[in-house]
């Protein structure tokens, strides 16, 4: 082989090595990105789960006395018959508009009563605000807390800027106030007092004729609002039940992807040699107390039955999965590097560390003895 050919072959080998290495790096980065992506997605789904739990917790407080049944069946039944939250909101807007229209009709009927009262020959003292200064009524505001007159009432009824009366009873209250203020400030034998008392009696008679319609409307409004609240609650329950099912399916899907990634990573892990396992076991004994606890937690993450905080720990290196062994290996390597940099410092947990080291050494030795006693 010529020198030129050898150089070309070496270059090809180097290129192949570079490509293989770059591929491994890309695969590793891709896997890490995938894990981060699914982990972030899972965190978002868990946040939604907390919101659903919060909703049902508040719902359970309201329904402690309600009979319980099959929640799944109830949810499915509700989905068939209960309108969506958006439709409930639209229906609520329509009901509110209809209720306001009915109230305006009642207010117009009340306006007929008001005209009859204000057209009475004795109504003239109450049509405009009291001229306190012109009449020299220096003590008027000391006796009357809230002055009222029919012109003010008329302006409130006709207001279109949102400051007007919302309910017919508000108008009724102000009409009474007009006459009661006059009766309160003026002597019983005065003309104004007598006029106010007479008109108040006439007003009450006419008000009693309209009152049944007002009461009927109030009852209807209360029933509609109660039905609307119940319907909205059912709609929210259905929406959250569907959200919970969808969330459960998404979580299952994310967990499945994470499990696939885990299996993929495990398959890519090179098997640790016997010598490497022996070195790992020896390195574990050199860890500080805190780092040793961290290493045992790694084992516990892969094996839920492993008691990392037990007084006596039995750690079988050969029984661990390849992914766990490599995680331990990287953790121990990094921890020992930090320890070597801080070797000059005194560890306050030295006695505990030594005891844990002995326990771990004994545990590893026991595990080896157990394997040695097993029949081949």
Q: Which two tokens stand for residue 74?
A: 């109830």
Percentage of the chain surpassing pLDDT 70?
Answer: 66
DSSP summary character for residue 177: H
What's the CATH code, domain 85-231? 1.20.920.10
Q: What is the DSSP string of 126-182?
A: GSS---HHHHT-TTHHHH-SS---HHHHHHHHH--SS-S-SSHHHHHHHHHHHHHHH
* CA–CA separation, 253 and 243 (whole Å): 15
Q: Which CATH architecture has domain 274-373?
A: Up-down Bundle (1.20)
Whether the pLDDT of residue 369 is over 70: the answer is no
| Residues in CB range of 113: below 8 A, 6 or more apart | 203, 206, 207, 210
Band of the pLDDT at 269, cuts 50, 70, 90? Answer: low
Q: Which two tokens stand for residue 159?
A: 């207001």
| Residues in CB range of 359: below 8 A, 6 or more apart | 312, 313
DSSP summary character for residue 318: G
- Residue 239: half-sphere exposure toward Cβ, Cα within 13 Å: 15
85-231 and 274-373 in the same fold = no
| Residues in CB range of 9: below 8 A, 6 or more apart | 1
- Residue 99: half-sphere exposure toward Cβ, Cα within 13 Å: 18
Q: What's the pLDDT tens digit per position in 81-129?
A: 556 667 767 777 787 788 888 888 888 899 999 999 999 999 999 999 9
Per-residue pLDDT, 104: 85
The answer to whether the beta carbons of residues 314 and 367 sit under 8 Å apart is: yes
Q: By C-alpha distance, which of 322, 324, 286, 323 is closest to 308?
A: 324
Give the domain ranges of the chain: 3-81+237-268, 85-231, 274-373
The answer to whether the beta carbons of residues 175 and 203 sit under 8 Å apart is: yes
Q: pLDDT: is 20 or 271 the higher one?
A: 271
Dmax over Cα atoms in the chain, in whole Å?
138
Q: What's the pLDDT tens digit per position in 143-172?
A: 999 999 999 999 998 888 878 888 899 999
Per-residue pLDDT, 10: 38
Q: pLDDT: is 233 or 183 the higher one?
A: 183
* CA–CA separation, 228 and 144 (whole Å): 42
Q: By C-alpha distance, which of 199, 196, 217, 195 is closest to 109?
A: 217
The answer to whether the beta carbons of residues 279 and 332 sit under 8 Å apart is: no
* CA–CA separation, 181 and 148 (whole Å): 8
Per-residue pLDDT, 368: 56
Q: Which two tokens stand for residue 351?
A: 């006695």
Per-residue pLDDT, 116: 94
* CA–CA separation, 196 and 213 (whole Å): 26
DSSP summary character for residue 186: S
Per-residue pLDDT, 69: 46
Band of the pLDDT at 28, cuts 50, 70, 90? Answer: low
Q: What's the pLDDT tens digit per position in 40-83?
A: 766 766 676 677 667 666 666 655 544 444 444 455 554 555 56
Band of the pLDDT at 340, cuts 50, 70, 90? Answer: confident
> Which of 187-191, 344-348, 369-373 holds the top average pLDDT?
187-191
Per-residue pLDDT, 370: 58
Rg (CA), the chain: 43
* CA–CA separation, 9 and 206 (whole Å): 113
């Amino acid at each position: 082989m010529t020198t030129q050919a050898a150089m070309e072959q070496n270059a090809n080998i180097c290129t192949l090595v570079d490509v293989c290495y770059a591929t491994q790096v890309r695969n590793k980065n891709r896997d890490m990105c995938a894990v981060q992506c699914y982990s972030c997605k899972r965190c978002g789904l868990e946040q939604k789960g907390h919101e659903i739990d919060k909703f049902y917790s508040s719902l359970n407080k309201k329904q402690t006395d309600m009979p319980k049944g099959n929640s799944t069946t109830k949810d499915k039944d509700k989905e068939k018959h209960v309108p969506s939250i958006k439709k409930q909101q639209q229906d609520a807007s329509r009901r509110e508009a209809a209720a306001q229209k009915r109230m305006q009709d009642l207010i117009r009927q009340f306006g007929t009563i008001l005209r009859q009262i204000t057209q009475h020959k004795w109504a003239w003292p109450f049509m405009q605000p009291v001229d306190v200064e012109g009449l020299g009524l220096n003590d008027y505001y000391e006796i009357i807390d809230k002055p009222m007159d029919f012109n003010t009432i008329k302006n409130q009824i006709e207001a279109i800027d949102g400051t007007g009366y919302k309910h017919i009873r508000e108008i009724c209250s102000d009409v009474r106030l007009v006459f009661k203020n006059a009766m309160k400030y003026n002597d019983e034998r005065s003309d104004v007092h007598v006029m106010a008392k007479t008109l108040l009696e006439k007003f009450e008679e006419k008000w009693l004729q309209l009152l049944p319609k007002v009461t009927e409307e109030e009852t209807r409004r209360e029933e509609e609002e109660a039905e609307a609240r119940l319907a909205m609650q059912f709609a929210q329950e259905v929406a959250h039940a569907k959200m919970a099912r969808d969330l459960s399916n998404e979580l299952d899907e994310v967990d499945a992807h994470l499990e696939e990634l885990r299996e993929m990573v495990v398959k890519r892990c090179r098997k640790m040699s016997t010598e490497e396992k022996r070195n790992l076991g020896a390195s574990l004994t050199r860890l500080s107390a805190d780092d040793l606890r961290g290493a045992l937690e790694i084992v516990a993450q892969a094996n839920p039955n492993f008691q990392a905080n037990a007084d006596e720990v039995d750690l079988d290196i050969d029984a661990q999965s390849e992914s766990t062994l490599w995680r331990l290996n990287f953790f121990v390597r990094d921890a020992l590097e930090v320890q070597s940099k801080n070797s000059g410092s005194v560890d306050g947990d030295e006695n505990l560390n030594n005891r844990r080291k002995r326990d771990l050494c004994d545990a590893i030795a026991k595990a080896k003895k157990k394997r040695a006693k097993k029949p081949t």
